[in-house]
Amino acid sequence: MPRRSLKRVGRILLALVLLIAAIIALFDWNWLKGPLERKVLDKSGRQLVINGDLKVKLGWPLAHVDAAQVTFANPTWASGKQMLVADGVAFSLDLPKLFTYNISLPEVELKQPVLVLERSGDGRENWRLDRQQQVDNSHIRIGVLRLDQGRLTFDDPSQKTSIQADIATANAGQSPKQAAVADAGILFDARGQFKGFPLAARGSGGPALALGADSAPYPLKLEATLGRTWMKVDGTITGLLSLAAIDMHLALKGDSLAQLFPQLGIALPETHAYGLAGHLGHDDHRWRYEKFAGHIGKSDLAGTLQVDTGGTRAFLHGELVSERLDFADLGPMVGAQPGGRMQAASPPAMQAGQRADQAVPVTVSARAAAPGLRVLPNEPYTAERWNSLDAEVKFSAQKIDRAQELPLEDLVTVIKLRDAVLMLDPLDFGIAGGHLDGTITLDGRQDPIRAAAKMRARKILLGKMLPTIKLADKSIGQMNGELNLAGTGNTVGNMLATADGKVAFFVGEGEVSKLLMEKIGLHLPEIVMLKISGDKIVGIRCGVADFSVRQGVMAVDTLVLDTEVTNISGTGTIDLAQEKLDLTLVPQTKNTSLVALRAPIHVRGSLGNPDVGIDTAKVAARGLGAIALGIVNPFLALVPLVEPGPGKDSDCGRLVTDAKEPPRKIAKRRPAGVLASRLQVEVAHP
């Protein structure tokens, strides 16, 4: 083709392009409002109305659309008439994706919008564009959303959720020049309820809401109260809808960690009031609350926890450390009544008027209690929540702050939860220089819960067992023992009330205060002499406390403390169901005492208010006999008060061997909990 002809063709093509451009530039896009509204109505069954101008700026790959005075109707099932009312809607449209039947809007700006998002009880969502509002890919994909100022509402009656948020630009009220320089983002104020809990939140965010998972991290600051839980966050979220990644500081305060279950869907234990702060991270299927520190009750707590959600059930694992654990803060975790503080009751004084350090200490209750008050924890476990996750968390307490009567020192355990079966394995209490260790299992698949406890006492020092008893600190020796119990119930109290099994503790050779032994035998001359000359130490040949447990009743098989000067034996029962004590201790001296108010010592009453006293009837009978004989002959008055010393050495080897025998098999029973082991140690060993 000649060069002149090529130039002519070029001029024609250029003219056509200029003509098309001129037509596009002069084209009134408002002509398309009608066809567009009819197309939306046909596809969604909902009416789109553009009352203002429609402007389009074509480009590739993005076209830009600006519409004024826009409304978009709700489906008929929704509570309101309109889903969206806005002074203006501007967005960019990804043209290549239209060929794949996907509507993608990389950027959307809403001017003074009122946007209502709603989910029905049967799962329909008003932001989906098919006629039934149920097709997953029927919603518009939005990358970044800019809100001038307006109101956003979300309602989900099936989840008892209704939230209304007012949104404003952070630079509102500034001059156009200031606003152009300071793109400070948005401020929001939300209120309503979330999953039935009152919600109030205030915060700020970036100028553009990054909704897509591939968007840049969105900065967010938020302070909120949800029910009785307070939280504060400061950091970034990638993908506000999908939560693709989270990197922020999170602080929490509340009455109990268990109150987080409705929000998190994770079963956490009942606790005293708490406050924690740390770093919250999330990516893929992992959530991490790491390097957090704070307190639960009066106990400090620090550590890292991670939840993996990629499996059939969430898996919680990590490590928690407390430098100083307040023993009272363990109360809610083992079912102690809310508001009650677990502490030890002081050993009661004997009825004969003796002081507390002169009494025979037989029991230490789980909590100081008034007469008639039950002390065994009786708040139910919520085992139906245990199936919400699996867990393996190590917990250690380096020091335990507790009542002086409880010789607990430290604690190490691993909390395991598998298929609604909760285990403390291993569980190791440092106690009186030794250890109380073993395993506790609570099977939440059964109703009531089936519980099992196997504990061992190793190398517990006698001198530290009763730190409030002045004469007990002279005791030297080690106590060992076994606890094997089985029971059912949804509270620790019920587990103990149905328990079967065996509790046995034994002491080999050791030493004890002679004055303490003489006081137990009420040997008056010996007590006076030791007060004058000073206390002495006598040898312990053995001590055995062996109980059989049937249906929550601990029956004494053997209860013996054999020393060089006294042999103390005991009989009776401890009814854990009724929390009643009925024990009798009989001291028998191995040496003749000229004046001894010898009489059995009875331990009765309740666990919360034990009653320890001598058999006053026998003491009175001996006293009357002494008076009668004294009338005849003053020297005969001593006869009823003379202790001839019939006490004999016990067969220690046989007693210890019997105590070590495993419990007989009890059909269809399981053991109790942590408090059971502690209670048995304290009850079984005066």
Strand pairing partners for 681? none
Task: Name the one residue in this structure whose structure tokens are 């009531």.
Answer: 448
Residue 163: band (very low, low, confident or very high) from pLDDT cuts 50, 70, 90: very high
Residue 339: band (very low, low, confident or very high) from pLDDT cuts 50, 70, 90: very low
pLDDT value at position 22? Answer: 59
Tell me the one-letter amino acid at 446. Q
324: its two tokens? 């100083």
Give the mean model confidence (pLDDT) for residues 432-446. 93
619: its two tokens? 């003491």
pLDDT value at position 184? Answer: 58
For residues 449 and 488, the answer to whether their CB atoms sit within 8 Å is yes
Is the pLDDT at 591 greater than 90, yes or no?
no
**Per-chain mean pLDDT for the chain:** 77
Give the mean model confidence (pLDDT) for residues 45-53. 93
What would you measure as the largest C-alpha separation in the chain, in angstroms? 163
pLDDT value at position 32? Answer: 87
Specify the DSSP element, H or E, that contains 111: strand 104-111
- Give 176-233 pLDDT, tens digit per residue: 444 444 455 889 999 999 989 999 999 999 888 877 667 788 899 999 999 999 999 9
Specify the DSSP element, H or E, that contains 9: helix 3-26
Give the mean model confidence (pLDDT) for residues 330-342. 60
For residues 154 and 180, the answer to whether their CB atoms sit within 8 Å is no
Q: What is the CA radius of gyration of the chain?
A: 39
Residue 473: band (very low, low, confident or very high) from pLDDT cuts 50, 70, 90: low
Q: Above pLDDT 70, what percent of the chain?
A: 70
For residues 529 and 519, the answer to whether their CB atoms sit within 8 Å is no
**How does 76-107 read in b/e, with b if 16+ C-beta sit within 10 Å?**
eebeeebbbbbebbbbbbbeeeeeeeeebbbb
Is the pLDDT at 673 greater than 70, yes or no?
no
What is 254-278 written as a DSSP string? ES-GGGGHHHH-------S-EEEEE
Task: Tell me if residue 401 falls in helix, strand or coil.
Answer: strand
Residue 361: band (very low, low, confident or very high) from pLDDT cuts 50, 70, 90: very low
Gap between the Cα atoms of 25 and 293, Å rounded: 63
Tell me, rounded to whole angstroms, the distance of Cα 134 from its chain centroid. 38
pLDDT value at position 603? Answer: 85
Is the pLDDT at 378 greater than 80, yes or no?
yes
For residues 280 and 246, the answer to whether their CB atoms sit within 8 Å is yes
Picking from 160, 168, 304, 288, the residue whose alpha carbon sits closest to that of residue 235 is: 288
- Give 60-93 pLDDT, tens digit per residue: 899 899 999 999 999 999 988 999 999 999 999 9
CA end-to-end span of the chain = 119
159: its two tokens? 């989840």
Task: Tell me if residue 56 falls in helix, strand or coil.
Answer: strand
Tell me, rounded to whole angstroms, the distance of Cα 62 from its chain centroid. 52
- Any alpha helices (H) in 81-159, and if so which ranges? 95-98
For residues 578 and 340, the answer to whether their CB atoms sit within 8 Å is no
What is 417-477 written as a DSSP string? EETTEEEEEEEEEEETTEEEEEEEEEETTSSSPEEEEEEEEEEEEHHHH-TT-GGGGG-B-
Q: Return the minimum-mean-pLDDT range out of 123-132, 319-328, 435-444.
A: 123-132
Q: Return the minimum-mean-pLDDT range out of 12-21, 353-362, 376-385.
A: 353-362
Picking from 248, 273, 252, 274, the residue whose alpha carbon sits closest to that of residue 263 is: 252
Residue 7: band (very low, low, confident or very high) from pLDDT cuts 50, 70, 90: low
41: its two tokens? 């109505």
Task: Tell me if residue 593 falls in helix, strand or coil.
Answer: strand
11: its two tokens? 């001029």
Picking from 303, 318, 320, 442, the residue whose alpha carbon sits closest to that of residue 385 is: 442
Gap between the Cα atoms of 628 and 630, Å rounded: 5
Question: Which range, 28-32, 106-110, 472-476, is most confident?
Answer: 106-110
Is the pLDDT at 575 greater than 70, yes or no?
yes
pLDDT value at position 499? Answer: 95
| 322 compared with 381, residue with greater pLDDT | 322
Contacts for 557 with CB less than 8 Å, ≥ 6 apart: 546, 547, 548, 658, 659
For 23, what's the count of Cα atoms within 13 Å in the CB-facing half-sphere?
6
- Give 618-670 pLDDT, tens digit per residue: 544 444 443 443 344 343 333 333 344 444 555 666 666 665 666 654 434 33
For residues 624 and 573, the answer to whether their CB atoms sit within 8 Å is no
Give the mean model confidence (pLDDT) for residues 255-284. 89
Contacts for 13 with CB less than 8 Å, ≥ 6 apart: none
Gap between the Cα atoms of 205 and 213, Å rounded: 17
Query: C-alpha distances in angstroms, 22 versus 9, 26, 57, 477?
Result: 20, 6, 13, 105
- Give 296-332 pLDDT, tens digit per residue: 999 999 999 999 988 888 999 999 999 999 988 887 7
Contacts for 578 with CB less than 8 Å, ≥ 6 apart: none
Question: Domain residue spans in the chain?
Answer: 328-684
- Give 15-30 pLDDT, tens digit per residue: 665 555 555 555 678 8
Is the pLDDT at 421 greater than 90, yes or no?
yes
pLDDT value at position 630? Answer: 38
Contacts for 70 with CB less than 8 Å, ≥ 6 apart: 48, 49, 50, 51, 52, 84, 85, 86, 88, 89
Is the pLDDT at 531 greater than 70, yes or no?
no
Is the pLDDT at 55 greater than 80, yes or no?
yes
